[in-house]
Amino acid sequence: MRILFLTRSFNGLAQRLYLELTALGHEVAVEFDISDAVSLEAVALWQPTLVVAPYLTRAIPQALWRHTPCLVVHPGIVGDRGPSALDWAVAEAAPEWGVTVLQAEAEMDAGPVWAGETFPMREASKSSLYRHEVTAAAARAVVRAVQHFTATGAPPAQAAAAGVARGRWRPLMTQADRAIDWQHDDTATVLRKIRAADGAPGVSDALFGQPCQLFDARSAPRPASASYTPGQVVGRRHEAVLRATTDGLVALGHVRRPDGPHPFKLPTTLAFPAEIAALPAWPGALDDGSDPDIRYETPCDGVGALHFDFYNGAVSTAQCMRLREALCRVLTRPPRVLVLFGGTDFWCNGIHLNVIEAADSPADESWRNINAIDDVTQTLIEATGCLVIAAMQGSAGAGGVFMALAADRVWARPGVVLNPHYKNMGNLYGSEYWTYLLPRRPGPPSAADVMGRRLPLSARQARALGLLDDVFGDSAPAFRAQVLLRAASLAASADLPGSLQAKHARRLHDEAVKPLATYREEELARMRRNFYGFDPSYHVARSNFVRRVAPSWTPRHLAIHRRI
């Protein structure tokens, strides 16, 4: 069936639905919701049987939904309506939430229900829930709705679609609804408020007397003897500042200063460089849980697990340096098997484009950042004393994918989406030793198949191509549990010493054939041109990306109807 996606952007959820539907044999073209006229033109060109709207922030024009059935994905339970569905569910700590697929009609979110799915809620940010539970439920619901559409062409009876309607109309959540009362709110309340607004729009607040929006909040351990005034900023830990609540501390990792020199999200310490200079740096260790992002644990005999949960999967120069330091510390007395869990939402998305954008010289900062992530990747490639597993519980993009390929085994859960290419960021050539790591994969996958295409890959496609070694686990917790079981069995295996010897020998052989330094030099020569050359594409693409500039056209590789 020909399907047109009408969507505000090709976000993670849209990518996942695209992969699910194309895997079922449907032909999917994508048009960004730019204007009614452009949407109607797309329908005229593609002549779809069905329009699917994975992510829309405004109504579909009547001329469109009257002409072609339009199925809209709403991130709320059946009956829920309004623009802040998930925000309310997080803010009010709903025990269960869901996704509804309904047909567009004159009234927003009020058309016939085609499918509905529910899931238990987790204590997490809105964006984390969106990337895991909502995306998984939307995939199930849309596939069911499309199958039903193919079979009957008419919506199922309400009860068959999704059970009884339990939701109701909820208004737009305003900043007044989100406001933090630092004098009275405890840690759980502050976290819930910020999580209900993360990744957008954030909670409007102030730090150091300056207005800003807060994101990326985590609870932080408070020294037993310490007492603080609620609301007081008491210190900093790496990129986060620590602020007192009525009963503890929260680490505020990212802020946006709408009136500041860089009006996009930044690590808090970078957004307030002068103000944080006077703050005490909080002590902590890799394994005491005090770090907001990097954490090491030894869950079972012979297995070490390194988590690097960087906000949005973006890793700045400073974070790369901390990650490499953590790796080096682990590798001084390596576990037999080292599992790299990356972050919960994203395994890694490569260099930190926002931090780069805010630098005095973005070109210089790009250069520092790519070198720092190369250093991390090199440390992983050279870790011949243990078996390294990259375990992707979250999706990965660009350099983050290639960093994972430095591991000996690369595993992912089925819902993971990979974007193993750099081209979408202004034609970046890419580094992270991809020219070494890609050809050494079994197969090997062709560079054209991986780097040449700009489309996402499902975990199963990535496995078929040879980018992943295995795909398993129904959910992120089930995946993590199975990873640890498999890692423990590898650590206990009598074959492990032999595998490590073979790994060491292969590294020596590869180095003799062509040193890692040469791969790096060649890749960085191309990157130097991206950063410092006459073609500004990368700088333009990065600026638009970090400022979330709404696209004015749909890229050709998505708008396949425009090739006709």
Cα separation values, 213 from 90, 124, 487, Å: 18, 18, 41
**Lookup: tokens for 59:** 């109504």
- Say whether residue 12 binds ligand COA (CB under 6 A): yes
Q: With CB under 6 A, what is the number of residues at the site for ligand COA?
A: 22
- Say whether residue 314 binds ligand COA (CB under 6 A): yes
- Say whether residue 351 binds ligand COA (CB under 6 A): yes
| Residue 473 φ/ψ region, left for φ over 0, alpha for ψ in the -120 to 50 degree band, beta for the rest | left
Contact present, 418 and 313 (Cβ < 8 Å): no
For the bound state, the minimum distance from the C-beta of residue 17 to ligand COA, rounded and expressed in Å, comes to: 12
For the bound state, the minimum distance from the C-beta of residue 318 to ligand COA, rounded and expressed in Å, comes to: 14
Q: What angle do CA 520, 525, 529 make, to 5 degrees?
A: 140
Cα separation values, 53 from 29, 92, 273, Å: 12, 27, 42
Handedness of CA 159, 2, 46, 459 (dihedral sign): positive
Report the residue number, 327 or 370, with the smaller CB distance to ligand COA.
Answer: 370
Stretch of 160-168, 206-214, 227-235, 397-405 lying at the interface with ligand COA (CB under 6 A):
397-405
Q: Which amino acid is at 282?
A: W
Site for ligand COA in 262-291 (CB under 6 A): 265
Report the residue number, 189 or 424, with the smaller CB distance to ligand COA.
Answer: 424
- Say whether residue 538 binds ligand COA (CB under 6 A): no
In the block, residue with structure tokens 């025990």:
95
Q: Which of 101, 425, 438, 484 binds ligand COA (CB under 6 A)?
A: 425
Distance CA 479, CA 342 (A): 13
Report the residue number, 336 or 352, with the smaller CB distance to ligand COA.
Answer: 352
Contact present, 345 and 397 (Cβ < 8 Å): no
- Say whether residue 352 binds ligand COA (CB under 6 A): yes
Q: Which of 11, 22, 219, 543 binds ligand COA (CB under 6 A)?
A: 11
Q: Which of 428, 467, 490, 527 binds ligand COA (CB under 6 A)?
A: 428
Report the residue number, 48 or 397, with the smaller CB distance to ligand COA.
Answer: 397
Question: Closest Cα to residue 404, out of 322, 340, 351, 469?
Answer: 340
Report the residue number, 69 or 456, with the smaller CB distance to ligand COA.
Answer: 456
Question: Closest Cα to residue 213, out of 283, 138, 266?
Answer: 266
Stretch of 37-45, 65-73, 299-307, 348-356 lying at the interface with ligand COA (CB under 6 A):
348-356
Report the residue number, 44 or 447, with the smaller CB distance to ligand COA.
Answer: 447
Site for ligand COA in 44-83 (CB under 6 A): none
Report the residue number, 117 or 198, with the smaller CB distance to ligand COA.
Answer: 198
- Say whether residue 312 binds ligand COA (CB under 6 A): yes
Q: Which amino acid is at 313?
A: G
The beta-strand segments (E) located in 270-345 are 294-300, 303-308, 337-342
Helix residue ranges, H only, 444-495: 447, 459-465, 476-492
Stretch of 140-148, 179-187, 343-351, 438-446 lying at the interface with ligand COA (CB under 6 A):
343-351
27-32 and 2-7 strand pairing: parallel
Q: Which of 349, 384, 458, 554 binds ligand COA (CB under 6 A)?
A: 349
- Say whether residue 450 binds ligand COA (CB under 6 A): no
Q: Which of 251, 339, 398, 407 binds ligand COA (CB under 6 A)?
A: 398
Distance CA 98, CA 77 (A): 4
Stretch of 45-53, 235-243, 307-315, 513-521 lying at the interface with ligand COA (CB under 6 A):
307-315
- The strand order across the sheet containing 470-471 reads 294-300, 303-308, 337-342, 387-392, 409-412, 470-471
Stretch of 61-69, 134-142, 165-173, 344-352 lying at the interface with ligand COA (CB under 6 A):
344-352
- Say whether residue 319 binds ligand COA (CB under 6 A): no
Report the residue number, 80 or 198, with the smaller CB distance to ligand COA.
Answer: 198
Report the residue number, 90 or 244, with the smaller CB distance to ligand COA.
Answer: 90
> DSSP label at 81?
B
Q: Which of 354, 366, 377, 393 binds ligand COA (CB under 6 A)?
A: 354
Stretch of 161-169, 283-291, 310-318, 332-340 lying at the interface with ligand COA (CB under 6 A):
310-318
Phi, psi of 255 (to 5 degrees): -140, 165
CA-only gyration radius of the chain, Å: 24
Q: Which residues contact 172 (CB under 8 A, 6 or more apart)?
A: 82, 83, 84
Q: Is 30 helix (H, G, I), strand (E, B) or coil?
A: strand
Contact present, 544 and 262 (Cβ < 8 Å): no
- Say whether residue 520 binds ligand COA (CB under 6 A): no
Q: Which of 378, 419, 458, 554 binds ligand COA (CB under 6 A)?
A: 419
For the bound state, the minimum distance from the C-beta of residue 398 to ligand COA, rounded and expressed in Å, comes to: 4
Question: Closest Cα to residue 52, out of 10, 17, 12?
Answer: 17
In the block, residue with structure tokens 């996942």:
16
- Say whether residue 422 binds ligand COA (CB under 6 A): yes
Stretch of 44-52, 68-76, 417-425, 458-466 lying at the interface with ligand COA (CB under 6 A):
417-425
Phi, psi of 341 (to 5 degrees): -85, -10
For the bound state, the minimum distance from the C-beta of residue 113 to ligand COA, rounded and expressed in Å, comes to: 26
- Say whether residue 353 binds ligand COA (CB under 6 A): yes
Question: Closest Cα to residue 481, out of 348, 299, 313?
Answer: 299
- Say whether residue 362 binds ligand COA (CB under 6 A): no
Contact present, 394 and 480 (Cβ < 8 Å): no
Residues forming the site for ligand COA (CB under 6 A): 11-12, 199-200, 265, 312-314, 349-354, 397-399, 419, 422, 424-425, 428
